[in-house]
A and B are shown apart, each in its own frame.
Chain A
Amino acid sequence: MGAGHAHALYLPGSSPVHRLPPQCKLVAVLGFVLLVVATPRERVWAFAGFALLLAAVALVARVPLATVARRVVIEVPFVAFAFLMPFFATGEKVAVLGLRLSEDGLWGAWNILAKGTLGVVASILLAATTEPRALLLGIERLRMPQLITQIATFMLRYGDVVAAELGRMKVARAARGFEARDLRATVVLARSVGALFLRSYERGERVHLAMLSRGYDGRMPLLHDVGATGAQWASAAALPLTAALVAAAAWMAP
C-alpha cells in the first residue's frame, strides 16, 4: 500500500486556485480549451497570450513551472506524428535549415503542438490543484450520471488494492523461477491477468454484499455538498473570459 499513489498528480496547497470548488475549475478548463482550439493557427501571438494566461494561473496556484514542464512530457507520444507532417504533407515547399518542408505541414504541426500543449498544461494545472476525489464530486455536481462517477470513485479506491494484488502475483511467479524471456511468457502473463480479473470480480461481489448490509439501495448518499458561490464562479471564469478576449482579437485581427 504505497501511500500517496492515488494523489501522484495532486500538489497539496491552499492557494486561491486550490480553494475554488472543483466544478468551477472544470468548466473553466473546458471553456479555455475550446477557445484555444477555436483560435486560427496563423495568429502565433494569440497562443503566446494563452500561454501567459496559464503561467499566471500556475503562479497564483504556486505550481512550480519546472513541475509543469516535467509533466508535459506525457503528450510526446500523442504529438510525435505532428513532427512528421512537415516532411510528408503536400503543398508548397519552403526551405528550413536546408530541408525542403511543406508549408502546410509546418502550420499543421504547429497547430497540433501549440493547441495540444496548451490543453495538456491546463489539465496539469487542474490535476495539481484539485484532489481526484474532489474532481469526481465536481463532475457529479455538473450533473454527470451518478453511475459513472460511482464507477470512477471505486476505481480510485480499489486501484491500489488491485495493483497490490498484481504485485503479489508477480512476486509469486518470480519466486517459482518465472522470467518473461520470450513470446511463450505471454501465455503465463495472460493467465495472471485472467486470474486478476476473476479476483477483482469476486471482490466486487463481496463489496456489493457489504454495501447491501449497510442499507445500500442503489443510490450513494450525498455526503458532500460542494456548492459554489457566485464570486467563486466569477473568479474561475477569469481564465476563460480573458482567453475569450484573446481569441476574439485573433479572429478580428487583419
Chain B
Amino acid sequence: MTPSLEVRGLAYAYPDGTQALFGVDLTVERGQRVALLGPNGAGKTTLILHLNGILQGGAGEVRVGGLRVDPADKKALREIRRRVGVVFQDPDDQLFMPTVREDVAFGPANLGLRGAELEARVTGALARVGMLEVAGRPPQHLSFGQRRRVAVATVLAMEPEILVLDEPSSNLDPAGRRELAEILRGLEVTVLMVTHDLPYAAELCPRSVVLSGGVIAADAPTLELLADDDLLRAHRLELPFGFDPAAAARRR
C-alpha cells in the first residue's frame, strides 16, 4: 500500500539565508499516528508548510499518497491541499469565516462541492468532532476547546489523506485536552502531530520522530523514545515532572 506521506532528502533555506531543513527523510504509513517532536526552532513548522506545497524551492521531494508535491502544477497542488489537512496552532487563524458552518464549508467548496453534497460534508465533519450544535454560531463566540475542535472539522471536511496537527494540545484545559484526544483516537485517518507535549504524544501516537537541527534525529516507538534520557536531553526535550514512560507503558 502507498504510504500516506513520504519525505525524501528535504532541504530548505529561507530567502534570508537561514537554513531550516538539512535533508529530512520521513515515511508515514496509512493509518499510522506519528508524533513529530523537537525543540523550538528545529524546523517543525517549515516541514509542515512543505507538506502541502506552501513552501518549496529547496532540495528533495514530498509525496502524499503517492502524489508528488509540485507547486508548478496548480491542479496537482489543489489535490495535495485536499489530501493534507493542516490544523494550525491558533484556531483564530484557522477559523476566518463568519460562522462555523461557512468555515467548515470553505475547504470542500474550494474543491468544487455545492448544495446537498457540501451540506453533507459539513454536517459529517462537525458530527465527527461533536460540534454540530454550534454550526450556526460565529467562531469567536466559542470556547477555546470548541474552536480547536471546529478547526479539526474544517480539515476533516476535505477528507484528507493525512491530518497534520500543529501543537494540538496547546492552551487547552485538561478536559479539553482529553476530549480532543478521544476525538483524534476515534478518527480513521493518518495523523502527523507536531507537539512539545510528550505525554500527549505517548497517549496518542505509537510512533514518534524527533526533528532536531533540521534532520530526523530519532525515529522509534514513542514510549521507548521517551525512556531514553540521553536522547531527550540531547534534543532539548523534557518530560514533565512526575511523568514516567514505564508506568505509562503498563497502563496501555
Contacts and interface: CB of A to CB of B under 8 A. Distances in A.
Interface stretch (B87-95, B185-193, B194-202): B87-95
Contacts of A154: 96
Given A160-B140, A223-B102, A223-B105, A210 B111 contact: no
B107 A214 contact: yes
Contact of B54 (A6, A153, A212, A217): A212
Interface in B95-114: 96-99, 102, 105-107, 109-111
Contacts of A157: 96-98, 138-140
Given A214-B81, A215-B107, A215-B110, A207 B96 contact: yes
Nearest to A137: B98
B54 A209 contact: yes
A53 B248 CA distance: 73
A210 B88 contact: yes
A5 B211 CA distance: 43
B93 A207 contact: yes
The size bracket of the interface on B is 20 to 34
A112 interface: no
A221 B122 CA distance: 14
A250 B26 CA distance: 80
Contacts of A210: 86, 88, 93-94, 96
A215 B140 contact: no
B141 A221 contact: no
A153 B95 CA distance: 13
A215 B98 contact: no
Contacts of A168: none
Contact of A223 (B94, B96, B109): B109
Given A156-B98, A157-B97, A203-B93, A215 B155 contact: no
B124 to A, nearest CB: 16
A211 interface: yes
Contact of A203 (B52, B78, B92, B106): B92
B105 A215 contact: no
B59 interface: no
Nearest to B138: A6
A133 interface: yes
Secondary structure type dominating chain B contacts: helix
Nearest to A133: B98
A214 B97 contact: no
Contacts of B44: none
Contacts of B54: 209, 212-213
B82 interface: yes
A214 B158 contact: yes
A6 B52 CA distance: 34
Interface in A212-228: 212-217, 221, 223
Interface in A1-56: 1, 3, 6
Instruction: Give the one of B84, B88, B96 with max A CB within 10 A.
Output: B96
A30 B112 CA distance: 36
Contacts of A211: 96, 106
Contact of B110 (A3, A6, A203, A214): A214
A172 interface: no
A206 interface: yes
B154 interface: yes
Interface in B128-159: 138-141, 154-155, 158
Nearest to B113: A221
B69 to A, nearest CB: 13
A215 B88 contact: no
A161 interface: yes
List the 5 closest pairs (A to B, CB-CB), nearest first.
Answer: A221-B109, A215-B110, A214-B107, A206-B93, A213-B86
6 contacts: A206-B88, A209-B93, A212-B81, A214-B155, A215-B107, A223-B105
Interface of B: 49, 52, 54, 78, 81-82, 84-86, 88, 90, 92-94, 96-99, 102, 105-107, 109-111, 138-141, 154-155, 158
